Structure 1
Amino acid sequence: MTYSNKKYNAIAEGKLKLDKRFCRKCLTEGFSDKEYYKTISNYISNIPEELKTPEDIYAARLESCSKCQYLMNGLCRLCGCFVEIRAASIKNYCPNKIPYW
């Protein structure tokens, strides 16, 4: 029996748990750019006004994110969020150890 077979058997027998990660980017897989931005826009437009980040602060947050090493394809690699959505809610903050915003 090879190592991978032992591992598979351990998983099948419930002796080894796998970390099943949720991929948010996969939710938009197959979306055109237009569909992707429409989905993000719809989500943001449904945030109650009292919880929305003011436009100037939102723009500053996105500017900070655009310079961050952890930004990849619109997602934060630290927390897995869509940065446009995270920045849109006033109560949210940058997940970096030393937050950018």
Structure 2
Amino acid sequence: MAAHEQGVAAGPTSTTQRLGGAVGPAVLVAVAGPAASVAGLRTARLAAAVGTVAGLRTARLAAAVGTVVTALVALRFTRPAAPPPAAPGAAPRTARVPG
């Protein structure tokens, strides 16, 4: 990436990180909620404790699956090949600025 394009690339990256920090926990809570409902236990306190553990386990599993999927998608991206080195005695290459 050219030096003059780095600021443009930083904007979407920062926005994505901020959105992930807000949406990620909301999704995990939505996943943990239904998994936390446990019926048939003797006391409400025990049901709440078991349900919380089950919900957190499910949310942690969902987060792990999301992390693995994200890593697999990220591995598919490649960097462009570096330009070959200049021949000895050749004039130095200069960066072209579109304009």
TM range (shorter): under 0.3
**TM value normalised by structure 1:** 0.26
Larger radius of gyration: 2
**TM value normalised by structure 2:** 0.26
Does 1 or 2 have the higher relative contact order (CA < 8 Å, sep 6+)?
1
Higher helix share: 2
